[in-house]
Structure formats: structure tokens, C-alpha cells
């Protein structure tokens, strides 16, 4: 197997930034080989609300192009606070002592989401799971239109939508 080199990794990272639509604020600063043969890709984030103005992502030396791209997409979605519903940048905070995130998104409004649901939505989007991806735009509409912040959970193959009044809707996935 031919290992990836620095130039290829730079181009994969640039493609991932474009795919995530963050190419205007995030760029690749450096690609370095570590002593154990793995690669370290350093990013710079110039977004005003950034969590990390620079950060690195490691790519193992024997990874394929696709494995490297997937690792970059997954890590960048988390580090850059990509909204799990609309895939745009948002503000995401973990609520103290809870496995719940509060998302403040310009497109979807303010809502809360269990970390399990966040993981489910992100991997579904990554894997092109059509049923869940179709539910995401519906959920984005629901959170945007709600009078008060909705809360998203999951149970036995159903997405649960709670409002301050209690369970509002279940969506089968
Ligand atoms: Zn959103």
C-alpha cells in the first residue's frame, strides 16, 4: 500500500474544508510527519467565536485517503461546532453534568440535543443514511419555528421532540 504524503494530505484537508463549507475561515497551516510515522495536520480557525484558534488532527501513517478524509470531517465537525441539523457553524455548549448540548444556530435557532442523538445524526450524515438525513431538515424547521427551545432525544428507533410542555412529537427513523 502506498502511504499518503504531505502534499496529498494538504489537498485532502483542503477538500474537507470545502465540503464542510468552512474554507473561508479555516485553513491548513502545516502538515508534519511525527516520529512514529503518523501525520499531524495543523489548522487555523479565524472564525470570531472560535474555540481553538489553532489545533491539530492526527492521521495514522497507513490510513487510506478515504479514512483520512473521514477522520478530518468527524473531528472538524466537533471542533468547529458544526450544527448537527443544518451542517452550518453554530455555538455548541455542553450543559454542566449532563450529556446534553445546547446549540445556538443562526438557521435552526436555539435547541438542546442529547449527545447520543448528536452522534447518531453526525454519523448518519457522514454515512448518507437517507431516512435520518431527511428528518434533519424537518427538525431544523421545528426548532426554528418553536416558541421556546426544543429538546431532542432518541429512544428505540424514534427521535423524540420535547418542548417545555412535554413530549411533542416522535419521528420514526
Ligand atoms: Zn443549524
Within 8 A by CB and 6+ apart from 16, the residues are 69, 72, 73, 76
φ, ψ (nearest 5 deg) of residue 15? -60, -40
Q: Which three cell numbers stand for residue 14?
A: 483542503
The tens-digit pLDDT sequence of the chain (173 residues) is 567 899 999 999 999 999 999 999 999 999 999 999 999 999 999 999 998 999 999 999 899 999 999 999 999 999 999 999 999 999 999 999 999 999 999 999 999 999 999 999 999 989 999 999 999 999 999 999 998 999 999 998 899 999 999 999 999 88
Region(s) of the chain under CATH 3.30.160: 6-79
Q: How far is the CA of 123 from the centre of ligand 1 (A)?
A: 16
Q: How far is the CA of 42 from the centre of ligand 1 (A)?
A: 26
Q: How far is the CA of 121 from the centre of ligand 1 (A)?
A: 12
Q: How far is the CA of 139 from the centre of ligand 1 (A)?
A: 9
pLDDT of 1 = 56
- Burial of 105: CB neighbours in 10 Å, binned 0-12, 13-18, 19+: buried
Query: Ligand 1 being an ion, which residues bring their Cβ within 5 A of it?
Result: 83, 85-86, 105, 107-108
Q: Which three cell numbers stand for residue 110?
A: 436555539
pLDDT of 71 = 94
Cα–Cα dist 124/116, whole Å:
12
Q: What is the CATH number of domain 6-79?
A: 3.30.160
pLDDT of 157 = 86
pLDDT of 14 = 97
Q: How far is the CA of 82 from the centre of ligand 1 (A)?
A: 8
Residues linked to residue 110 through DSSP beta bridges, in sequence order: 104
Q: Which three cell numbers stand for residue 83?
A: 450544527
Q: How far is the CA of 44 from the centre of ligand 1 (A)?
A: 23
pLDDT of 172 = 87
Cα–Cα dist 48/43, whole Å:
15
Q: How far is the CA of 106 from the centre of ligand 1 (A)?
A: 7
Q: Is residue 159 within 8 Å of 140, Cβ to Cβ?
A: no
Amino acid at each position: 500500500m502506498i502511504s499518503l504524503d504531505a502534499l496529498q494530505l494538504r489537498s485532502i484537508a483542503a477538500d474537507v474544508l470545502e465540503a464542510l463549507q468552512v474554507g473561508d475561515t479555516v485553513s491548513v497551516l502545516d502538515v508534519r510527519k511525527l516520529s512514529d510515522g503518523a501525520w499531524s495536520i495543523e489548522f487555523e480557525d479565524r472564525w470570531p467565536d472560535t474555540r481553538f484558534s489553532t489545533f491539530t488532527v492526527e492521521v495514522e501513517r497507513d490510513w487510506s485517503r478515504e479514512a483520512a478524509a473521514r477522520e478530518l470531517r468527524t473531528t472538524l465537525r466537533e471542533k468547529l461546532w458544526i450544527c448537527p441539523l443544518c451542517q452550518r457553524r453554530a455555538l455548541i455548549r455542553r450543559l454542566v453534568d449532563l450529556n446534553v448540548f445546547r446549540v445556538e444556530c443562526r438557521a435552526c435557532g436555539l435547541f438542546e440535543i442529547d449527545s447520543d442523538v448528536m452522534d447518531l445524526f453526525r454519523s448518519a450524515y457522514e454515512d448518507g443514511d437517507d431516512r435520518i438525513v431527511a428528518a434533519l431538515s424537518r427538525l431544523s424547521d421545528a426548532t426554528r419555528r418553536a416558541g421556546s427551545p426544543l429538546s431532542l432525544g432518541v429512544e428505540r428507533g424514534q427521535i423524540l421532540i420535547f418542548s417545555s410542555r412535554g413530549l411533542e412529537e416522535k419521528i420514526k427513523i
